[in-house]
Amino acid sequence: MYDVAAIRRDFPILAREVNGKPLVYLDNGASAQKPQVVIDAISTAYSHEYANVHRGLHYLSNLATDKYEAVRGKVAQFINAATEDEIIFNSGTTEAINMVAYSWAMPRMEAGDEIILSIMEHHANIVPWHFLRERMGVVIKWVDVDATGALDPQAVIDAITPRTKLIAITHMSNVLGTVVDVKSITSAAHEKGVAVLVDGSQAAVHMPVDVQDIGCDFYCLTGHKLYGPSGSGAVYVKSSRMDEMRPFIGGGDMIREVTKVGVIYNDAPMKFEAGTPGIVQTIGLGVALDYMTGVGLAEIAAHEASLRDYTVQKLAGLNWIQVQGTTPDKGAIFSFTMEGAAHAHDISTILDKKGVAVRAGQHCCGPLMEHMELNATCRASFGMYNTTDEIDTFIDALELAHDLFG
């Protein structure tokens, strides 16, 4: 049985008040809260175990290295990669996508080559490709969603031409909650010789992920959304693609030997991890993945699906709320506007007075907002520790905002 009360006790921040009200944290799409085991692991690593990794032969360095490197296997298991050598550590999805852009795409693309994006992409999966457009003449092709926010995989597949080199696509929209059929897209893309990068920042938090089943070439994870520390993350790179990549950042640890006339690079994945890494952040990420796995990824997904369905039901009774993204299998993410109301920022401020934390703005999805003809939305996004009682508080706060602005 999923014991949400016990889970909530594991997250100390959920016991606090905001503006004199119990905190209702519905900003998980931006960043999730941290369980005590992650906080303790970070504190212990800094207080009793800290040293730089890989370079030392002393006890603390070996201990830190063992704990740090163990996370590579945990990430591989979490997304079912074939081997831990397909996992590259980084600071999160933004760095991961930039690495793929510079290490893999840039050396093999030229003016006129194409990258396909959906209109739902986060700026982290747009701006790096604009770099290639601006600097190399690469063409970005966009695929729209329908009125419900659904993305037809066939529309993505139909956009492929002989000049297409990469499809870069979200697995779950951070605005609409739409879940994309990345497996079908990947299968068809590979038949045409096109690589696929999947932005898993949202999906990996809310549903089990199997990169071998998906078949994608690159899959990106962000630690701070996975109940881990900020500045932690990883990218899965299929071994065959890893062999095609050149180093992204140069420095220590990614080399075997440096002379005045040349460099011998380290083996992958170390080849792509220059300098002192986020040691403690990565250790914390490993503990967060252990925590999620301990609760059960399928169980978390089922709990959040029940929260989604309950929220859909409650919002249906508010005819002055317009929800963007209404696909039935969406994640527990609700972006909305209020009829006749002030700006989304004003709505968010009223909700905050009731202790309800939501996000307001464009959610780093400018092209999607333009497509929906909106300047901004409010977004309530749910996590493993949220409850139906909190949804009721959220609905009450919305009704207060409507009374003030409606």
Question: Is the same domain home to 342 and 194?
Answer: no
Question: Is the same domain home to 48 and 167?
Answer: yes
pLDDT at 55 (0 to 100): 78
Question: Is the same domain home to 231 and 244?
Answer: yes
In a domain, residue 35? The reply is no
pLDDT at 343 (0 to 100): 85
Question: Is the same domain home to 144 and 158?
Answer: yes
Question: Is the same domain home to 21 and 139?
Answer: no
DSSP assignment letter at 336? E
Question: Is the same domain home to 319 and 248?
Answer: no
Q: Measured between alpha carbons, how far is 221 from 217 in angstroms, rounded to an integer?
A: 14
Query: Quick check: 310 and 386 in contact, CB under 8 A?
Result: no
> Which residues is 196 bridged to in the sheet?
167
pLDDT at 339 (0 to 100): 79
Omega before 277 within 30 of 0, i.e. cis? no
Q: Could you list the pLDDT tens digit for every one of the 406 residues in the chain? A: 899 999 999 999 999 999 999 999 999 999 999 999 999 999 999 999 999 999 778 999 999 999 999 999 999 999 999 999 999 999 999 999 999 999 999 999 999 999 999 999 999 999 999 999 999 999 999 999 999 999 999 999 999 999 999 999 999 999 999 999 999 999 999 999 999 999 999 999 999 999 999 999 999 999 999 999 999 999 999 999 999 999 999 999 999 999 999 999 999 999 999 999 999 999 999 999 999 999 999 999 999 999 999 999 999 999 999 999 999 999 999 999 997 766 899 999 999 999 999 999 999 999 999 999 999 999 999 999 999 999 999 999 999 998 887 6
> Containing domain of residue 171, as a range?
40-294
Question: Is the same domain home to 113 and 242?
Answer: yes
Tell which residue, 336, 403, 404, 339, has the closest CA to residue 376: 336
Q: Which of 229, 260, 294 is the last residue of a domain?
A: 294
> Which residue's entry shows tokens 């492929």?
160
Catalytic residue selected from 216, 220, 364, 378 = 364
In a domain, residue 365? The reply is yes
Question: Is the same domain home to 289 and 301?
Answer: no
Angle between helices 59-79 and 279-295 (to 10 degrees): 40
Pairing of strands 164-170, 114-118: parallel
The answer to whether 364 is a known catalytic residue is: yes
Q: Assign residue 363 a region: left if phi > 0, alpha if psi is -120 to 50, beta otherwise?
A: left
> Which residue's entry shows tokens 């760095």?
95
Any idea what the CATH number is for the domain that residue 212 is in?
A: 3.40.640.10
Q: Which of 264, 294, 324 is the last residue of a domain?
A: 294
Q: How many domains does the chain contain in total?
A: 2
pTM for this structure? 0.97
Query: Quick check: 13 and 391 in contact, CB under 8 A?
Result: no
Any idea what the CATH number is for the domain that residue 358 is in?
A: 3.90.1150.10
Q: Which of 261, 294, 327 is the last residue of a domain?
A: 294
